[in-house]
Amino acid sequence: MRKLFTFSFLFMAVLFDANGQIHFPTDTTIVKNLSGTFNGKKVNYKATTGMQPVFDKDGSVIASLHYTYYQSTDHKDMATRPLLISFNGGPGSASVWMHIAYTGPVLLKVDDEGFPIQPYGIKENPHSVLDVADILYVNPVNTGFSRTVPMTGDAVKRDKFFGINADITYLASWVQTFVSRNNRWLSPKYLIGESYGGTRVSGLAHKLQSVHWMYLNGVILVSPADYKFFESDTPIAEALNLPYFTATAWYHKKLSPALQNLPLVDALKKSEAFTLNHYMTAITLVGSLKANERNQIADSVAYYTGIDKTEILQANLLITKNHFWKSLLRNDKGLTVGRLDSRYLGLDKQDWGTAPDHNAELIAWLHSFTPAINHYMREVLGFKTELQYNMFGDVHPWDRTNNNTRDQLRQAMAENPFLHVMFQVGYYDGGTTYFSSKYTAWQMDPSGKLSERIRFKAYESGHMMYLRKEDLKSSNEHLREFIEQTKTPAGSAKY
């Protein structure tokens, strides 16, 4: 990454009024011109980071969102230059994760498997998709440097921000303002969302089309959280975890030889078939199963999970994720496995228990991401501020009522023949498992009529599959192909 020149300077001081209310500049930018080599191509680009207001229906500023916008200066025709709009999840998470570890022009310094190393910092990301698209990273309210106006007190309109539908509504309006300010109406446009961000961009796609008349070319769901799935009946939600258990047990070499010696994908095919054809029915009917039927199912669950059969019978055949994370390596290494990436290991106070003491992977990520993003924002991009960069912000309680985002994405696809969707998931993700994403895709398109516009890519890593060097390259390449193949559709928008 080489800096060419800089213009504009910002020191965003936190201010107080006569009543002690906290205020800050809500509409500011700092711009730097940089260059880098991405996918083997030199790209000159402009990095803009700043604050853009959120307005209420009366035009008053009720919040300001911190964003970073990378725009190629080698491309002058905005009608042919795609725009990728990126969100992370939480809810309450900053956009830091995909920004400096997946698609952006700089890359977090980690080892080849994605584990923290010191000294912390960043380097150029040779796999960034900035060669084929401009990228906008958005921090929703109370994440990153984004804040409500005012920041504290009874005047804060929390109901306008902190819920599935409120979040989608104000962000759609904010995106429209950004697109108008930056002359991107003619550009092919894409949304990418990770984890809860998958819920967010599913609803945003529909809201942008139905309220703001902004039509998209693509939506990318990275390890998406589907609350319809999480809040469904236990036999469905719990049963669909089993293939993830198989993947994690395979990684830690805890399966019996017949399964362990298979390639991962082949082992998972067997686990998926057992889940759909036997396990889901068994834990639905568990109270009425005969003793020999229980034993047969317990044998199979032990075979596919590496968990002792006695524990499975004691749990009435239903192994929860907390149970699995605590138990898989209990009698071997005396360690727990991570939630969002089960390649990570944790050390608990005692081996006994039903859940790990902490999420080993998240603590590891916070080790390296927090110093890196603070250094990058303040010293490289020059965004000087006294505000704390919130890796996770105060957004709770979060209103999850009236959640129809899965159906809203299907509706957006039905109404827009140019709209394509891609899932990107990690086999070792225990937070939003890869098989639950397959289930989401099945439920989103029950007729099968949208199947040619839905892609599914899986990787041998966890929730942030791009942290692993091999998957960083392949996931960016899949994203690059997706954009290149959908940015200029052949023919008219009709069925």
Predicted local confidence at residue 11, as pLDDT? 54
Whether 268 and 339 map to the same domain: the answer is yes
Q: Which of 3-12, 43-52, 152-161, 195-204 has the lowest mean pLDDT?
A: 3-12
Average pLDDT value over all residues in the chain: 93
Question: HSE on the CB side for 364, CA within 13 Å?
Answer: 24
Segment (H or E) for 49: strand 41-55
Domain presence at residue 35: yes
* Tens digits of residue pLDDT in 407-429: 999 999 999 999 999 999 999 99
pLDDT at 196 over 90: yes
Whether 411 and 280 map to the same domain: the answer is no
pLDDT at 193 over 50: yes
Domain presence at residue 484: no
Whether 316 and 410 map to the same domain: the answer is no
- Span 374-399, average pLDDT: 95
Domain presence at residue 495: no
Predicted local confidence at residue 478, as pLDDT? 98
Domain presence at residue 118: yes
d(CA 274, CA 46): 51
Predicted local confidence at residue 19, as pLDDT? 57
- Helix residue spans in 150-240 (DSSP H): 164-181, 196-210, 227-230, 234-239
Q: Indicate the number of domains in the chain.
A: 2
Domain presence at residue 50: yes
Q: Which of 6-15, 151-160, 476-485 has the lowest mean pLDDT?
A: 6-15
CATH number at 390 reads: 3.40.50.1820
Q: Given pLDDT bands bounded at 50, 70 and 90, which one contains residue 39?
A: very high
Predicted local confidence at residue 395, as pLDDT? 97
Predicted local confidence at residue 6, as pLDDT? 39
pLDDT at 238 over 50: yes
d(CA 218, CA 233): 31
Whether 347 and 374 map to the same domain: the answer is no
Predicted local confidence at residue 154, as pLDDT? 87
Domain presence at residue 200: yes
**DSSP output for 245-282:** HHHHHHHTT-S-HHHHTS-HHHHHHHHHHHIIIIIHHH
* Tens digits of residue pLDDT in 332-348: 889 999 999 999 999 99
Domain presence at residue 271: yes
* Tens digits of residue pLDDT in 250-288: 999 999 999 999 999 999 999 999 999 999 999 999 999
Out of 312, 334, 358, pick the residue that ends a domain: 358
Predicted local confidence at residue 319, as pLDDT? 94
Whether 345 and 375 map to the same domain: the answer is no
The distance in angstroms from the start CA to the end CA of the chain is 45
pLDDT at 402 over 80: yes
pLDDT at 18 over 60: no
Phi and psi, residue 377, nearest 5°: -65, -45
Q: Residue 264 belongs to what domain range? A: 232-358
Whether 267 and 177 map to the same domain: the answer is no
Whether 376 and 351 map to the same domain: the answer is no
Out of 358, 375, 401, pick the residue that ends a domain: 358
Residue that has been written with the tokens 């968990």 in this structure: 307
Predicted local confidence at residue 36, as pLDDT? 97
Q: Which of 58-62, 162-166, 184-188 has the lowest mean pLDDT?
A: 58-62
Whether 94 and 7 map to the same domain: the answer is yes
Query: Taking the C-alpha atoms of 154, 157, 162 and 165 in order, what is their torsion angle to the nearest 10 degrees?
Result: 150
- Span 17-37, average pLDDT: 80
d(CA 368, CA 464): 14
Question: How many percent of the chain have pLDDT more than 90?
Answer: 88
* Tens digits of residue pLDDT in 168-179: 999 999 999 999
pLDDT at 384 over 60: yes
Whether 119 and 6 map to the same domain: the answer is yes
Domain presence at residue 493: no
Predicted local confidence at residue 9, as pLDDT? 43
175: how many CB neighbours lie within 10 A of its CB?
Answer: 23
d(CA 148, CA 140): 10
- Measured CA angle at 392 (ends 391, 394), to 5 deg: 140
pLDDT at 23 over 70: no
C-beta of residue 95 within 8 angstroms of C-beta of residue 146:
no
pLDDT at 463 over 60: yes
Whether 34 and 149 map to the same domain: the answer is yes
pLDDT at 76 over 50: yes
Whether 7 and 102 map to the same domain: the answer is yes
- Span 64-78, average pLDDT: 96
pLDDT at 25 over 90: no
Predicted local confidence at residue 8, as pLDDT? 43
pLDDT at 125 over 70: yes
Whether 106 and 214 map to the same domain: the answer is yes
